[in-house]
Structure 1
């Protein structure tokens, strides 16, 4: 058994269970090293950003048939993208 990896996964799950509870609830998820987990947005922050994007899209809607696109060029851990992409017709993550 790879003990350092196992310990990293336990610590990662512990951090994710507080910061990303939806993600932590999925079996088989491999957690990254400590730094990306510390630097990523929390689930709650990402959900707030998604609600804000949804509200802004609704305010700016000129035509209900016009597709709304999201392009995330930040290339971070993807937490914000995973929630914000749900309110867009098309989403691209770089």
Structure 2
């Protein structure tokens, strides 16, 4: 996973230390290409139809994520399938594992 350089500089003090990665649902999108940078494969578990958009609940390595998408082609027939999701890490946040301080809040 590529983390933007401005966020990398803050994380130098956390090499070999645990951190938590956070990203909002609106910064996760569907992808057709698994080779695209910052794309993960996730098992779709729930689709929450919100009218013009959908919340897609999916898991990667036993961690649940939510994507907020406008793609109306995703249906309940896709539940259980592995889909490709792109994480826009320019909007991600990294937290200190122990204090929960947002290390990238001002970037």
TM-score bin (small chain): under 0.3
Bigger RCO (CA 8 Å, 6+ sep): 2
Question: Larger Cα Rg: Structure 1 or Structure 2?
Answer: 1
Greater share of helix residues, 1 or 2?
Answer: 1
Instruction: Give the TM-score normalised by the residue count of structure 1.
Output: 0.25
Instruction: Give the TM-score normalised by the residue count of structure 2.
Output: 0.23
Greater share of strand residues, 1 or 2?
Answer: 2
